[in-house]
Structure 1
């Protein structure tokens, strides 16, 4: 990926508090490439638009946000050979995040995504979930590895991801409507086309959430709606098995660390995720 131009595309909503530090970290990245920063700003109650116009190379004002379509609109104004999608609330872990993210890309491995590490101030549950979903080992996902990878063969996150622009357009890009999980749908299209993507553990970001039970419920209801919408195209049969593995891992880790309060909170957290997901699947 040397001497390439990289377009970093960031959807923004009420994100003023994140932007200055995020852009500072983006501009500190090491590598023999140039970058352009593209902000996709939805109507916000803070100064997201004004700050974005100061910090980003290009700013697109979004009238109606959709997880997929809005990102696709950003690509249409991108000049880079490589498209990097991030969210406003991430931070690169170090100055090699971007170089490590784009370095594996070639004619076969056309996309990649980063390892996520929970912010220090967030809950132990969030930290454990990130460790479960984002291990230290790289993983190549394609048709050949479907059995070995199981449900994680279509696990892909554009909180920090990269894809060759030429291949992105060959796949049809993000030119579709979804309630969430646009990244998973793109991953499934990569595999169906006989290409590969890689989970790149050497590319690391800080990223986690502090969600209320109400916000968690909505998030998982949207995931259920997504899986119901695309169940004829994507095999989601192993989703619940993966959830059971995560629950067992959480219980073991919380006991090991002596996190009794979080262990007592766990049934509420996991329960609301399960209820939201199941209701979403029925809609």
Structure 2
């Protein structure tokens, strides 16, 4: 089984070698490593070319800057493996057995999408933090049963980087990332959830997401909130095609409700008067909170039930001030 690894590269010369080495050093060797240089202006393109000279499995694609989504889409189009993994160039894997473990699981039970866990490396604190709950391997052939267990434990998340995906499934269903938006993983993961026939979970926690700043709100802007709200609306529209009497309908909206919860919290971290207009419009989507298998959303739902929507938003604003977001 050949596995493609797509690594979008843009001005990450400080971290790029650690990223590429974490792939090169995998015990599983039947790989193609696609380094998509998205018009980087630092030493990243040269680093990519140097690595390609050392390892025939590495292919470098130089292109004009088009953003993360465009770089990932380019990687998908050039990939020739049976499955594909995404790795951001400032992140890395800290387990050389990651792909070997994922492939072994896929050989035992092939699926369209195999999910795994990740952790954060807090660069300023020099500290590693687990992000997702550890859960025993899920042995089930039913998509809804597996998804139910994953949703209950917060394990189906809006990230491209914790999923090993069948390449033919992506291309056949034209599951490409939307360009020029932030939170591009949200509706992409929603579309994957709807289109996939089979889904799986592996308890590996090898993906290391590097958080460079100690403040969550440091990089949040009006565009982040605007794009997040539009992604939620898109997810709601996509869900209208799911039969309402199915278990999957509720599970899908549990995933969407979590994104809505993120919006309710994160809008307080951006000081821009235009945010108020977005949140006035998004008030009509408060019904999403009734889908609350996820613990954090359950808290929001019960607070809203007791004090109302307006007081819920005030509580979240106070919470953000208290946490110094």
One fold, TM greater than 0.5? yes
What number of residue pairs does the alignment pair up?
Answer: 248
Structure 2 equivalent of residue 185 of structure 1: 187
More RCO (CA 8 Å, sep 6+): 1
Question: For residues 243 and 25 of structure 1, what CA distance do their matches in structure 2 show?
Answer: 34
Structure 2 equivalent of residue 196 of structure 1: 198
Question: Match of 2:49, SS?
Answer: helix
Contact 1:92 1:205 in 2 (8 A): yes
Flag the 1:159–1:18 CA change in 2: closer, same or farther, 3 A: same
Flag the 1:227–1:51 CA change in 2: closer, same or farther, 3 A: same
Superposition deviation, residue 120 in structure 1: 5.5
Q: Which has the larger radius of gyration?
A: 2
Moved more, 9-18 or 48-57: 48-57
Please, which runs of 5 or more residues in structure 1 have no aligned partner?
Answer: 249-264, 273-283
Flag the 1:203–1:147 CA change in 2: closer, same or farther, 3 A: closer
Flag the 1:226–1:232 CA change in 2: closer, same or farther, 3 A: same
Q: How does 1:63-212 map to 2 (within 5 A)?
A: 63-105=64-106, 109-119=111-121, 121-122=123-124, 127=129, 130-131=130-131, 134-137=132-135, 138=137, 142-144=143-145, 149=151, 152=154, 154-174=156-176, 176-177=178-179, 179-211=181-213, 212=215
Deviations 1:26-85 (A, max 9, x none): 111113x41111111122231111111111422222324244343121122222222111
Superposition deviation, residue 160 in structure 1: 3.9
1:46 aligns with 2:66: no
Q: Name the structure with the higher strand share.
A: 1
Flag the 1:60–1:126 CA change in 2: closer, same or farther, 3 A: same
Flag the 1:151–1:226 CA change in 2: closer, same or farther, 3 A: farther
Question: Match of 1:89, SS?
Answer: coil
Superposition deviation, residue 178 in structure 1: 6.0
Contact 2:10 2:40 in 1 (8 A): yes
**TM-score (ref. length: structure 2):** 0.63
Moved more, 208-217 or 16-25: 208-217
Structure 1 equivalent of residue 20 of structure 2: 23
Please, which runs of 5 or more residues in structure 2 have no aligned partner?
Answer: 53-57, 240-252, 262-291, 301-317
Structure 1 equivalent of residue 233 of structure 2: 228
Contact 2:187 2:234 in 1 (8 A): no
Deviations 1:232-278 (A, max 9, x none): 11442344265845999xxxxxxxxxxxxxxxx97349685xxxxxx
Structure 2 equivalent of residue 34 of structure 1: 30
Flag the 1:45–1:193 CA change in 2: closer, same or farther, 3 A: closer
Superposition deviation, residue 153 in structure 1: 7.3
Deviations 1:119-142 (A, max 9, x none): 264559983xx43xx111156894
Moved more, 151-160 or 191-200: 151-160
Superposition deviation, residue 114 in structure 1: 3.0
Flag the 1:125–1:229 CA change in 2: closer, same or farther, 3 A: farther
